[in-house]
Chains A and B, each alone.
Chain A
Amino acid sequence: MTGDVFDPEQLSRCISCGFCLPACPTYAMTGDEASSPRGRITLMRALQDGTLPPDDGTLAEQSSFCLGCRACEPVCPAGVEYGSLLEQWRVHQWRGWRRPLVARALMLLVEQRWLLRLSGLVRRAARGRAVTPQAGPTRAAAPAPAAAPGAAAAGGPGAQLMLGCVERGLFPAVSRGAHALAPELAVPTAQGCCGALHAHNGDLAGGERLAERLGADLPGTIVTTSGGCAAHLAAVLGRDRVRELSTWLADRPAGAELRVGGRRARVALQDSCHLRNGLGVFAEPRTLLRQVADYVELPSAAACCGAAGTYSLLRPKESRRILDAKLDEIEAAGVDLVVAVNPGCLRQLRTGLRRRRSPVRAVHLAELLTRVEPPPRPA
């Protein structure tokens, strides 16, 4: 008897109506009940009541095959909190050595605050002045976050920009762009990781601990440029503490028109699953984009791009299958830019588009609004 893996109240809320099936990317891929949210909840119940042994192969496979995109949540009339159940499932499934090595390594890395700080510095040093933001024709160059005055110095808990453990290393221009757009945000560099990575990879307690520590590092409102971090932080610290950048900027003018080749740019948005399905935020980034460019809605904008946190690293084959369909759609839409609001999605789209030598470029919302161009593609 396992018995205590899941919150019984959450588990019992599913009535197996199957309304989640059409929203699920892995069910779309396989047509197999076992890889649908309803089927996975049936598996969770079997684990909970001991019908299946904890080391059952299907349990292991399905807990890892799931993207965790939570597309099943907004369509569930019964209000099942699937994302939370998945986190509980992985706590059980990915204990100790059973956690994928890549996830273990990443989790260890992002917990090292000195390393996070260093990664930003190293990255900047390596790139030299090449990416120092000459932020668009209409805006003054933003100071690099590390050089920005800390809010902590200002005393009271104002609003502060979260740098993100992955983002500050891979996409430092995003934070710089965000700070240029919202100069009132303080940018303390002494801040850790929010722990979303941990929560999604079977370390729920670690995920909560890190989120609380980040909450202490950044008292007051936390503004983040990552949809995934926003959803996780909101779940731990409460919704009132956390704002994703587009909701922070929603009420102010987005700036001058973005032009490509002498005409107004055509842009599309890829939703962040956790931002959209977890927090219900999807209108604000679109509103901002419509102000500066011709906005094109991708038919599957709300569907996962396959990045899904660490998924693209853990299950590259499936991730690629999902991405390929998405890229076909992006190219067919005839857009100049596809915009992401989460670093994982940005990395996924940028890598995929480069691999195809596509003329379409992937940028973060903050980069687009500040006209901070992404590094040029290799020829």
Chain B
Amino acid sequence: MALSATVLAELRGIVGPSHVHDAAGDLVAYARDATPLFSHRPDAVVFPADTAEVAAVLALATRHRVPVVPRGAGSNLCAATVPLRGGIVLVLTRLNAILEVSADELLARTQPGVTSAALADAAAARGLLWAPDPGSRTVATVGGTIATCAGGLRGLKYGVTRNYVLGLEAVLPTGEVIRTGGRLWKDVAGYDLTRLLTGSEGTLAVITEATVALLPAPASANTGVAYFPTLADAGEAVARVIRAGVVPATLEFLDRACIGAVEDFAHLGLRADAGALLLFGDDGPPDLVAAHLDRIGTACVEAGAVEVTTAREVAQAEALLAARRCALPALSRRGGVTILEDATVPRPRIAEMVDRIDAVAARHDVAIATFGHAGDGNLHPTCVLDSAEDHEAVRRAEAAFADIFAAAIDLGGTITGEHGVGAAKLPFLAARLGEDQLALLRRIKSAFDPAGVLNPGKLGS
């Protein structure tokens, strides 16, 4: 469906001619995000400069029944920003100002196009911590981080993004601008629309400003690595750490394939012969961090670790975490297509889940490497295929992932812990929520978006 000349002219009138792209090549560039196997060309790409322009574009879209997909950096892994029905991709990278960082109120006010790392840096400059820490933080925008309710490496101790969103300015598809929540820690007036919009994946409204909670920066942080003969041993270590009453900031595991891939990129001297690796870290007063790392190390040795080391300096700890953040793209060195998924199970059932993943991989004859946030039960089984052109292999991988999601739900878990549903997980959502809840989701969606123009084919569709 190409946009009519009228719509294009109106769009150009709103944002200025140079901020509407509709040449074939420009559209191709916005046909996909970081999700493999999903691609669809939009009909126009629009770059608004402020809230008023966003509101005018959305009102126009509702009037003309044109689909709109809001987009930050397009680094999400669930096809949340692929314009499945064409229409407009609304790129928010020009709204990229950090409006305020308040050490007194422990909060920041920011536009959505700022990267999560830039916000973290601005906070750190004032002695503060922006806790959400998605692997893609240097790329991912705050708007997208909130829209997908992203998680990351500090999830165990600090939770996911929703715990840090105090208030939002958002534009409804019909063009009204609403402000939810605000600057207060305590504010219970009305339905919690801030939480509803956080993780709504651009299906209810377009976030144009966010007020987020910051924490005092921890005095110190450190990281260690433990190597195990098998992934099951690492799983046992996690259980022992939790039983020991320690809640570290980070507890990440990589299996053998992931260790090799990360080492190929980062050259940190990781032991490629180990069956699994547990990366653990904590932050806080130096004495406490040292004590926690010590207890975690002990738990690892008891679980059969063959080697435990802690980072000698901050740079080394940072390098370890940075390497872990890039595990997914590094894995792609192993083949042509890398499909990463995101399932979560209750923490005591991680080892069971790992076994089930192995069995599923064998049954469907696909190679699945696994890494993830062991501390919070969030696993990233990742399938590496030789080529997307091998349709039979792609089909087998998809069947395997369907089984993996079913296994996660069976173990009391969920189909996504931090990446979101997007288009990729939508077929599995009913299994997690049930039909009644899904129907409620759709009624909520139509209350926000009566014309159904905002990110169709995703949540609420």
Contact surface of A with B, Cβ cutoff 8 Å? 12-13, 15-19, 21-22, 31-34, 39-40, 42-43, 46, 51-52, 56-59, 61-62, 76-79
Contacts and interface: CB of A to CB of B under 8 A. Distances in A.
Contact of B23 (A19, A57, A77): A57
Nearest to B329: A77
Nearest to B389: A12
A350 B32 CA distance: 42
Contacts of A52: 24-25, 28
13 contacts: A12-B337, A13-B336, A18-B75, A21-B139, A22-B115, A22-B117, A31-B96, A43-B25, A43-B29, A56-B24, A77-B329, A78-B333, A79-B265
Contacts of B333: 13, 78-79
Contacts of B75: 17-18, 21
B34 interface: yes
B91 A62 contact: no
A77 B91 contact: no
B387 A17 contact: no
Q: Report which residue of B21, B139, B330 has the largest number of chain A beta carbons within 10 angstroms of its beta carbon.
A: B139
B138 A78 contact: no
B67 interface: no
A22 B93 CA distance: 12
A18 B144 CA distance: 14
Contacts of A77: 265, 326, 328-330, 332
Contacts of B265: 77, 79
A44 to B, nearest CB: 10
Interface in B31-54: 31-36, 45, 47
B34 A46 contact: no
Contacts of B117: 22
Nearest to B76: A18
B26 A13 contact: no
B443 interface: no
A34 B73 contact: no
B449 to A, nearest CB: 25
Given A19-B136, A33-B74, A76-B329, A43 B28 contact: yes
Contacts of B74: 18, 33
Contacts of B73: 18, 21
Contacts of B87: none
B94 interface: yes
Contacts of A19: 136, 138-139, 326, 329
Interface string B335-360: 01110000000000000000000000
B30 interface: yes
B113 interface: yes
A376 to B, nearest CB: 41
A58 B26 contact: yes
A42 B32 contact: yes
A22 B73 CA distance: 10
A62 B25 contact: yes
Interface string B389-412: 000000000000000000000000
B28 A15 contact: no
A34 B328 contact: no
Contact of B26 (A16, A22, A34): A34
A16 B91 CA distance: 17
Nearest to A79: B333
Given A31-B94, A42-B32, A52-B28, 15 more contacts: A12-B337, A15-B337, A16-B34, A19-B329, A21-B75, A31-B47, A32-B93, A33-B74, A34-B25, A56-B24, A56-B25, A58-B25, A77-B328, A77-B332, A79-B333
Contact of A42 (B31, B45, B264): B31
Contacts of A43: 25, 28-29
A13 B113 contact: no
B387 A12 contact: yes
A34 B29 contact: yes
Interface string B109-137: 00001010100000000000000000010
Interface string B75-117: 1000000000000000101101000000000000000010101
Of listed B21, B24, B29, B93, residue having the most chain A CB within 10 A: B29
